Structure 1
């Protein structure tokens, strides 16, 4: 009995002691948040007066020594005090603006398990008296529509960056995490909460297994955004994924890779690869197992986009050949096929028609091929057609506004935007300007309008679909699109680590999201293995059927 009581007492004491001490991960996660918060909120930091990277390097040893919440809070409080006095200011609320605050979350400031009450009060005071001038580390321009509004500036790239330097590894993580925390418009839509991602991934930055592991961890971090635009790429990753491609395009259907096109006829012929070949295994592993084991490396807003982007991971490598198991005409075979550096593929792009007349007076326009100069010609060509099919499965060439002028009787709003509010990082604001498609045109096209979409329809392709959807008599046919609308912010986080992600939010006029969801088809139709083997374009066939039957 006495022994049992003693064990219980020991366990209770250990539990109390454990609660009183912070782990390295807890301390560094909290430091990452405070460092990023001060970078964009503290008036003396956000204005660029202080070398903010060096401040991090100086504070990290003190953070490491702190054991308890009290010791950690004392270190951070002293640090904040050293940054200089903050004046109390009155920040007026602009009643004309409509704010979007789903991404704004500063509740961590009041975390009683990490911060002493006095530290939380200091952080809250900074939030309430945050910097209101021109940010030093981030910029936003809304005047040039051809330039992405968001940019990260005045960041030292560290040309001599070494992965073995723990401080620089943490700086890389802290920078990227806070870019997303405050400036990614769709953070609220991610499958996993961003602060949870920080705590989960930090141990691999503290002690990576190797240089390659560090690089792969960065890629995993970008995949967590659930954004088809998002990625992090480095030369080092070629060691894991390879830099040689097979000379064909594939589509994943039913956990198999079906050859849909030849990048280079001659190279495909050397390996005897044909359209319609069904590849079931690669180097002895099933396509299904490869997908299941590598999803953490492949970006995508939704499952359709992820599968679209898997081709390189399934087939790329560093060796000259790769073994495949494939089915052709009902027979299963195994053979080696050649891989090539991308520059040596010498891709031969098909000479696709810009437009054509289909049976029963139906017009077809390939939006991936026509330019603005072609729009008047093709719209005149099909002005008396009973239907026009606009194919967005190869995206579009910036012709959406020109085309919409022929489809609408009058201008119509088709989109709403949210932009970063740099006066309150993490908050966004609905753009005041109203974007419309079409023009006043009593002689507008009055036949059926069909939009063909699939997982390749992305970004401007999805924006084009939204623009054309605003017209009367529009039906969307196909499958889920990539779910990544909006301009792409591209930057180098630190030397050698290039990244990108969607930088502003795009919604329908009723504020319904397109991110992750994509453009939802009215009629869902996907290519099948048999259809590809038979040379059919099943979505196009379905569109023709709809025009002719109304269903």
Structure 2
């Protein structure tokens, strides 16, 4: 199979009816024993010597099911153990390491349309995805629910799913159990979905205290028509409370932690298939309901919304009192020399990373650090022993630089800080004079592994990322030195409470 001599999907589809007919443990084991024998002899090559430079990371690895499964005969367990000890050592036919970091990529797969009326066709898709996660997701060991239990929960629902929507809902529920903010699930448009409508509230919002607070106006005229302002508080959408949405969507959204979940949820709640949406607001202690028209701003109102969302921002500037500010979401490597020249004599620089940086870590860390320092180490899948991961490589920041920046370094983070944001924060922490201010980040780092299945696209964190001492950032995120969360009152008053707290710290050291 690993050499590509068999169509492994077809092998599964051929064997499932035989499994269905098995009525006893003995019959079940015999089906599998005969299947293994029919695939041909396995050459004895063990014991397999592991290269001296390979250091295993084993927290994801567990093959105890080979011997502990109560449905397996001793003969079947023995055959499976023999396969493990004499496992294939050539180039894998169905999986390969992608890019320089070796996160998993599926190759030579046939993605037939799943038949939603055929149990085995649906099971094939579920088994394929579940096994990709089982063997190649670096943070399986950090899931709140064991991945085996998720499969047990999922299978009956898969069998019952009779339509594409039902089936993909089951998949979303399964995937949500991965607890990984990188993980997404996108269904491709089809004859049954291409007519789906997406209408948008004319502003962005943030969930605070089980309410949505308007944080940014995206369509000025649309917001003005309904008197929508930053700081407005939404309590219901179409008679459903935000608290209801939080509970209802929990098993359909995959996130590493609660902060990331609420951030993803806010984006979903502010989209509706209907043009006409009833929205309840809380203003000055009174509830007010508005019948609103939401628009597809990727269509007739595209230019207005785009203009609203792209208000001019400075790449870097002074905030006063000789304090520099850098917007990490828009500054690029070519802008770094000018930023350094402008801010090098400042008493502090605030790096706002409540966004997604543009690969500027190296240039900035060479400015901040007095010497080269390691800031991240990695695990990646080991294809010579599927299921195992190995420690592989590290990344360093900075260089020998006696003229490095001597002022305070402040990094602002929140739930929108994901992946490269978190990784860059780890990098800046090595400067020695860095203080992290804000709230819990998204808790998902490392390159993503992406998969195009027939009908949907999905992705998850592809490699493990850790501090040099082995501390995890997955699910935890980057822990702030000073925790600050925006409040409804602060947003209503137009304050940036996280930045304000940073300015207090710069002046007082507290």
Shorter-chain TM band = over 0.9
1:291 aligns with 2:250: no
CA contact (8 A) 1:315 1:322 kept: no
Give the 3-state SS of the residue equivalent to 1:110 in structure 2: helix
Alignment of 1:371-450 (within 5 A): 371-431=332-392, 433-450=393-410
Give the 3-state SS of the residue equivalent to 2:138 in structure 1: coil
Q: How many residues align?
A: 501
Distance in 2, Cα, partners of 1:241 & 1:454: 33
Q: What's the Cα RMSD here?
A: 1.7
Distance in 1, Cα, partners of 2:27 & 2:264: 47
Deviations for 1:70-111, whole angstroms, at most 9, x for unmatched residues? 100000000000111001113102232211010011111113
CA contact (8 A) 1:354 1:370 kept: yes
Going from structure 1 to structure 2, the CA distance change for 1:105 and 1:256 (only over 3 Å counts) comes to same
**Residue 156 (structure 2) aligns with:** 203
**Residue 126 (structure 2) aligns with:** 173
Going from structure 1 to structure 2, the CA distance change for 1:240 and 1:504 (only over 3 Å counts) comes to farther
1:277 aligns with 2:232: yes
Deviations for 1:163-212, whole angstroms, at most 9, x for unmatched residues? 22222211110000000000000000000000010011100111215432
**Residue 153 (structure 1) aligns with:** 107
CA contact (8 A) 2:176 2:255 kept: yes
Greater helix proportion: 1
**Residue 140 (structure 2) aligns with:** 187
Give the 3-state SS of the residue equivalent to 1:435 in structure 2: strand
1:491 aligns with 2:451: yes
Quote the offset at 1:238 in angstroms: 6.4
Going from structure 1 to structure 2, the CA distance change for 1:306 and 1:240 (only over 3 Å counts) comes to farther
CA contact (8 A) 2:103 2:448 kept: no
Distance in 1, Cα, partners of 2:240 & 2:360: 44
Quote the offset at 1:400 in angstroms: 0.6
Deviations for 1:459-502, whole angstroms, at most 9, x for unmatched residues? 11111111111112100000000001011111123x11211100
Going from structure 1 to structure 2, the CA distance change for 1:242 and 1:200 (only over 3 Å counts) comes to farther
Alignment of 1:20-169 (within 5 A): 45-90=1-46, 91-141=48-98, 143=100, 149-158=103-112, 160-169=113-122
Picking from 409, 429, 436, the partner of 1:476 is 436
TM-score, structure 2 normalization: 0.95
Picking from 482, 504, 507, the partner of 1:523 is 482
Distance in 1, Cα, partners of 2:179 & 2:238: 29
Quote the offset at 1:318 in angstroms: 1.4
Distance in 1, Cα, partners of 2:95 & 2:363: 34
Give the 3-state SS of the residue equivalent to 1:482 in structure 2: coil
Deviations for 1:23-58, whole angstroms, at most 9, x for unmatched residues? xxxxxxxxxxxxxxxxxxxxxx01101011111111
Quote the offset at 1:220 in angstroms: 1.1
Distance in 2, Cα, partners of 1:88 & 1:151: 28
**Residue 303 (structure 1) aligns with:** 258
Alignment of 1:331-410 (within 5 A): 331-344=286-299, 345-346=301-302, 347-348=306-307, 349-410=310-371
Distance in 1, Cα, partners of 2:98 & 2:387: 17
Distance in 1, Cα, partners of 2:428 & 2:37: 55
Give the 3-state SS of the residue equivalent to 2:272 in structure 1: coil
Distance in 1, Cα, partners of 2:375 & 2:440: 19
Distance in 2, Cα, partners of 1:219 & 1:142: 27
Quote the offset at 1:372 in angstroms: 0.2
Deviations for 1:233-267, whole angstroms, at most 9, x for unmatched residues? 21479699962221210000000000000122122
Distance in 2, Cα, partners of 1:270 & 1:505: 48
Distance in 2, Cα, partners of 1:161 & 1:336: 41
Picking from 248, 270, 275, the partner of 1:315 is 270
Give the 3-state SS of the residue equivalent to 1:535 in structure 2: coil
**Residue 452 (structure 1) aligns with:** 412
1:511 aligns with 2:470: yes
**Residue 10 (structure 1) aligns with:** none
Give the 3-state SS of the residue equivalent to 1:62 in structure 2: helix
Give the 3-state SS of the residue equivalent to 1:307 in structure 2: helix
Distance in 2, Cα, partners of 1:375 & 1:288: 44
Quote the offset at 1:162 in angstroms: 2.8
Distance in 2, Cα, partners of 1:187 & 1:83: 30
Quote the offset at 1:308 in angstroms: 0.2
Going from structure 1 to structure 2, the CA distance change for 1:209 and 1:315 (only over 3 Å counts) comes to farther
1:260 aligns with 2:221: no
Unaligned runs of 5+ in 2: none
Consecutive aligned runs of 4 or more in structure 1 exceeding 3 Å deviation: 235-242
Unaligned runs of 5+ in 1: 1-44
